[in-house]
């Protein structure tokens, strides 16, 4: 089954910078069947995963908040079996830890190949240090039959993605976290270069690592 991005326009002001779990939970409150179906998936294996939610883009404004802008979207990466239930979200309001956002009319978008992809956050269970994580990422790419070159994204500033100050050196790998219930899950920003068109689409469809429904392991074309 082909995989597409189903993109919803949204209106709102600010949301939590760490919103992956609250976004998924808000969707499941409106579409309860999703939680039962998706919670049974084996996310950390190489089997096909057919549901993911992109992190919402915006501007960091401090205090662990993200300011929404005209380019902010709620985007689901799905096969066609999920499109019909997701269409019911049009016109609905989602509550992300006390921050409401309203969804508009969705637009389906085909995945586009790019030789260089990036993921804001990849989580591989049991691998929380840069060297070991990168080796694990290489193994998962190999299991998918992909020849791309994975690299850890380097931190460009001392400001963290959550809007907090960081004492980390500006050249270290960009480590990120996501809060899931009462747990903090650690991963890294990852890039994969040297992909053929077919491999690029496959990596976007399948991803690597786990927690795709919380925004992890979602790959998009990297900016030049």
Predicted local confidence at residue 169, as pLDDT: 44
Predicted local confidence at residue 170, as pLDDT: 44
The residues, any chain, with a CB within 8 Å of residue 163's CB and separated by 6 or more, are: 17, 60, 61, 62, 63, 64, 65, 66
Q: Tens of pLDDT along the chain (224 residues)?
A: 789 999 999 999 999 999 999 999 999 999 988 766 665 554 444 334 678 999 999 999 988 999 999 999 999 999 988 999 999 999 999 999 999 999 999 999 999 999 999 999 999 999 999 999 999 999 999 999 999 999 999 987 655 444 444 444 445 899 999 999 889 999 999 999 999 999 999 999 999 999 999 999 999 999 85
Q: What are the backbone angles phi and psi of residue 126, rounded to the nearest 5°?
A: 90, 0
Predicted local confidence at residue 164, as pLDDT: 45
Q: What are the backbone angles phi and psi of residue 81, rounded to the nearest 5°?
A: -65, -20
Q: Are 191 and 151 in contact (CB under 8 A)?
A: yes
Question: What pTM did the predictor assign?
Answer: 0.88
User: Cα(221)–Cα(224) distance, rounded to whole angstroms?
Assistant: 9
DSSP 3-state of 198: helix
Domains of the chain: 3-110 (3.30.70.1890), 117-221 (3.30.70)
Predicted local confidence at residue 48, as pLDDT: 45
DSSP 3-state of 74: strand
């Amino acid at each position: 089954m082909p995989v597409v991005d189903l993109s919803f326009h949204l209106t709102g002001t600010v949301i939590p910078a760490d919103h992956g779990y609250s976004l998924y939970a808000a969707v499941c409150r409106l579409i309860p069947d999703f939680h039962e179906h998706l919670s049974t998936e084996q996310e950390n294996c190489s089997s096909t995963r057919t549901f993911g939610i992109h992190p919402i883009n915006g501007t960091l404004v401090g205090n662990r908040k993200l300011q929404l802008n005209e380019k902010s979207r709620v985007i689901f990466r799905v096969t066609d079996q999920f499109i019909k239930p997701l269409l019911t979200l049009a016109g609905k309001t989602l509550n992300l830890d006390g921050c409401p956002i309203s969804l508009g009319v969705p637009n389906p978008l085909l995945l586009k190949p790019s030789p260089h992809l990036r993921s804001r956050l990849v989580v591989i269970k049991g691998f929380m240090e840069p060297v070991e994580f990168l080796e694990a990422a290489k193994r998962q790419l190999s299991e998918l039959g992909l020849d791309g070159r994975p690299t850890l994204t380097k931190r460009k500033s001392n400001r963290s993605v959550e809007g907090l100050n960081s004492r980390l050196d500006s050249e270290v790998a960009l480590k990120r976290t996501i809060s899931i219930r009462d747990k903090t899950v650690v991963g890294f920003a990852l890039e994969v270069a040297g992909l053929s068109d077919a491999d690029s689409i496959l990596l976007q469809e399948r991803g690597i690592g786990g927690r795709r429904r919380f925004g992890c392991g979602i790959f998009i074309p990297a900016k030049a």
